[in-house]
Structure 1
């Protein structure tokens, strides 16, 4: 009954917005650095490129729909479009997680290159088609941090029994090592660390993590971000609304997302070091995971990929596509490496 009422209210809002020549764009994120300004830039670019014919009414997390319900609401047409993270849909489609990040995968350039030149986007569209959604990457994210821990992690055994906020495939991988992976919206993380509900969390890179105040409650900040060496912000739109746009309007959205990919990556690239210095000044120990922990995580990742490929044909199709492209990319990258 609750979901029916929410859907009805959202449908009424969407109808009102549509009559005003705008489309609802619900974000799964709050006003976070990089993600929020990239969304604002995207909205402004679409409006400019379409001469005001397509205007998105952009709403931050929770304003119209809870983050984990956005997918269903856009699918049903109660909302027009979303600004989200594909792993949130992995409960419905396991392969969707691979369009949020690929644990132990390649760098941001390899990820977005596979998407547009290695068949990735077509597979993503195939996954979302039954849900009446049209997806695309709309912001490439740099490698994240490995996470904040309230105690040191010196061996794989130290992960056993820890309650860790991490979503998607990263959570499945950590579960293999005995951790309790939990999925929580960003707004609930700091309180959960303070109360002891969580022992650790990952969210993003330093610039974003600073805003949430994790350095006040967890003093061990680990790298690398093995679970997300690169990531995508996703934009998706209800297919009926998408199909009703003109070719030029759809192109304007696609071009604006291409701009967002470069903008988000560039905005984050040079902004991390100063924040790390602030964390250190606040008593945070910034360090890398020990080699033994990384080896155990990599082995667990291989297990998860094998299991999910056996369970889901589309997951296997996507990860095989990614790995084939990565092999070609990595060969040339290795030959070009100056070190």
Structure 2
């Protein structure tokens, strides 16, 4: 990638963009995107901490219903407040052209999360945004000629085919399809698949960065649903998330569980819960018939999904062992 250059920008939208200059590719990452990534990383950390607290510390068999409800209300507030503050701040950010965290809920990490983990999370989100734009160059979308263009295109199309995501892509226009291809290429690039050096750690980093980047962009731009028409260049968040979820599943399902019983699909499930809350809050404000989410409902759904995932992973392990 010697002819691709990456730079920081401080004007225009909170996003990243790729463009060609002579025979070279240029990628610009706007600082507003980094600010937004920091905000949504905090929101996800608070949500994750609320999940962990509920799973470990809440005794649902407690006979004191009043105390139990008070505990659950406090947990729900800790999980939902950062999301609500970001939701309510979005119009101000868009009008001013600046994204910033002025509310304590967007600045304070849960006690269980250290600064190093948090900044690693933010940098993974930035990496995905940059990798997405780099892949526009690698895939030939910007007119830059790259020697690995055919190879990268083949790998991306193979993953789209194997994951079943082509049915979503068939409803998109050519520009929107290029965005999907760049998303997939970015995931594979960070995971190490494009260089043949994929590792478990890189896969986790690519998963976290891609999911947080997509929900950050979707929430800031309010581009949740794909719109038809030749002027629509980007698919909506829901389509992008659906495709990436399929890619992640197809890519990671063969992996065995880690030393503590972890699996990348467990992390994907956590993001599915987080994103469902963000979406439902947005929908409850866009449509009067949609109600605000309830943390306990989300938690219960995630526990059910975790049980099904455990069964599937055990079944795959038993099948592989017996064969």
TM-score by length of 2: 0.30
Larger relative strand fraction: 1
TM-score by length of 1: 0.29
Select the structure with the greater relative contact order (CA < 8 A; seq sep ≥ 6). Answer: 1
